[in-house]
Structure 1
Amino acid sequence: MGFKKKFAMGAMSALMGLSLIGGGTYAYFSSSAATDNTFAAGTLDLSAQPTTIINIDNIAPGDSMTRVFELHNNGTLDIKNVTLDTAYSVVDAQGDNTEDFAKYIEVEFLYNMDQFNEVIYTTTLDQLKGMSPKAVSEKIFNEALDGGVLAAGDEHDLVVKFNFLDNGRNQNQFQGDKLKLTWTFNATQGDGRDL
């Protein structure tokens, strides 16, 4: 037998031995355990009742209208912040407006029915529209909702008084006009928790 054959046989024997040794390392006791885990996200579900807070005709300068509505947290998570976006459009019946009708609609946010005359914040609709959501939350909802928090499953009454301001001058330009107001209440959760 030549050197090449002896060498080849030796190499093959070595490889077989290594494969047997390597294959033997996989023979061991084993055990396993499985766990079932679930991550279920909570919900934020803010609603306002009624959905139409005010719908009134034939107002005149000096008139006031008080309305009550409720914010409901129908979700499973606490709402830490409520903000308010204000949008409106004015229908100028005669096409003669030189001023924004919303400048003369004052809004008083009041505490609740028990403290009907305690004002939280007063502004006009045109100013409210220009406020940042954070400013609205700090000025109105932090006070009205006891720190701004609306717990899961809770509801809170809010009272709003609208005043058509009488500026003591001729306001004929607003006769027959309509102001269409949309308030959008937005809810955000609080900080994350260590559960």
Structure 2
Amino acid sequence: MISLQFLLTALFVVLAPGTGVVFTVAMGLGQGKRAAAWSALGCTVGIVPALAAAALGLAAAMHASALLFNTLKFAGIAYLLYLAWQAVKEGGTLSVRAETKAGSGWVICRRAALINILNPKLSVFFLALLPPFLSGSPETARAEMFLLGGIFMAMTFGVFLIYGYFAAQARTLLLESDRAMRWISRSFAAIFVALAGRLALERA
């Protein structure tokens, strides 16, 4: 069940830059290592609802319900656009600037968690990723999905910590250039807008 193939597949998925990675890197550049660590934790915790929905069979029901899917999708789009605004807003939580006060860890964690919670495709993703690696026993299928999902979450947290650490290290170089900080913030805003656009194109 816990095979090398699963571990490599999960690692490949986790390493691929997505919304959570962008948020964690943005927090690392904007507020340092501590903020990046809280972001990594939040993105990991945000996986739990999608994993539970996949294991309990709720993901299929949501995928079949256009209303539920679209409600969650548009909430996710609105949140991504809000993050884009926070990246370019003067003093925004995601803006990269020299003088900044690290926000509350729990607030950062909650904001990061919402990225995955408001992604309606995540539970469907787990339905596609995990079943091929199950043992095939109906009696243990649910427990196995939670186990594999837990490993996926642990890998997510570890990889995101690494992304955040290097982003925080790069922060000291960026602080020397106001122009670089402005362009980095604008770039993050553009990425979040692009991610919102991609989510808008998703169909149940």
- TM (norm. structure 2) is 0.23
User: Which structure shows the higher helix fraction?
Assistant: 2
Higher Rg of the two aligned structures: 1
- TM (norm. structure 1) is 0.24
Structure scoring higher RCO (CA < 8 A, sep ≥ 6) equals 2
